[in-house]
């Protein structure tokens, strides 16, 4: 039987709050077995961009990354944020190793082609983008990789890449080696049928129920891309996907997405 590998993704809301981040890392340290953490950014990059007179540009929730913006987000994501998280995990007793995609060639991306919108230095991924062998070696050496949202193209160019996409792609790439459980952690306890009722958590969603819930308009628009990616990961071999509260990952209330 394959070993279980838990892959966790956290976003900026947790990263921006030092107390919540510390609490999450303490909870993560309690999760047994092999694990990988993928993190996005926080508000720090936007604050520095604004201080430097560079207006952050977003289209449909995605950052436009010009050369100046890339410098700033690299400093924050691959530098300050990544190392703060690694230091916090070390304090919690987890031997973590912080990586950008360029480190060990762990994630090699392709610059997004210009179509209707030029996203700048943004990287797109396929399962072949992930160096699964290196991640496996690190995991078997007892290390917990901490991956930030900065990748590279193999020709010296760094690229900004969506952290949800990184987590899903890494999960797919490692599904051949492990029984992978992918966790998306945010401020709610799971997928809610009523966005205004925190107690309306759906405990389990199959592809069939997901289709019914979408048709009935029971899922908030902002959750749809995350769930679409989650079910695509299940189809690609990931064992299960969990949507949960970042501060309650060891508690039973959460939404589990499964193949059937």
Residues making up the annotated binding site for substrate are: 41-42, 63, 160
- Residues in binding site: 41-42, 63, 160
Strands (E), 89-178: 96-99, 110-111, 123-124, 144-147, 150-152, 158-160
Q: 159 forms bridges with which residues in the sheet?
A: 151
Tokens of 141: 């050496």
3-state secondary structure of 120: strand
128 DSSP 8-state letter: G
Tokens of 244: 């949960």
252 DSSP 8-state letter: S
Q: What share of the chain is helix, strand, coil (3-state, %, to 5)?
A: 40, 25, 40
Which ranges of 74-206 does DSSP label H, i.e. alpha helix? 82-91, 132-140, 163-174
Contact assessment for residue 195 and residue 223, using Cβ atoms and an 8 Å cutoff: no
Contact assessment for residue 138 and residue 145, using Cβ atoms and an 8 Å cutoff: yes
Cα 10 from Cα 227, distance rounded (Å): 15
């Amino acid at each position: 039987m394959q070993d279980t590998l838990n892959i966790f993704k956290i976003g900026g809301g947790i990263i921006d709050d030092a107390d919540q981040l510390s609490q999450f890392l303490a909870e993560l340290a309690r999760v047994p077995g092999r694990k990988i953490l993928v993190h996005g950014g926080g508000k720090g990059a936007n604050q520095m961009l604004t201080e430097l007179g560079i207006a952050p540009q977003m289209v449909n929730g995605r950052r436009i990354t010009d050369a100046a913006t890339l410098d700033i987000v690299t400093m924050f994501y691959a530098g300050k944020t990544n190392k703060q998280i690694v230091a916090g995990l070390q304090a919690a007793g987890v031997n973590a190793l912080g990586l950008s995609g360029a480190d060990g060639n762990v994630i090699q991306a392709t610059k997004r082609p210009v179509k209707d919108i030029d996203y700048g230095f943004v990287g797109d991924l396929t399962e072949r983008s992930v160096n699964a062998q290196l991640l496996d070696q690190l995991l078997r050496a007892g290390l917990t990789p901490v991956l930030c949202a900065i990748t590279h193209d193999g020709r010296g160019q760094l690229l900004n890449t969506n952290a949800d996409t990184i987590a899903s792609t890494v999960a797919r790439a490692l599904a051949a080696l492990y029984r992978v459980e992918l966790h998306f952690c945010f401020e709610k306890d799971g997928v809610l049928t009523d966005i205004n009722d925190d107690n309306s958590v759906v405990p389990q969603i199959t592809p069939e129920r997901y289709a019914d819930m979408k048709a009935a308009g029971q899922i908030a628009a902002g959750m749809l891309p995350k769930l679409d990616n989650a079910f695509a990961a299940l189809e690609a071999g990931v064992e299960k996907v969990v949507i949960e509260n970042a501060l309650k990952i060891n508690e039973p209330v959460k939404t589990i997405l499964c193949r059937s």
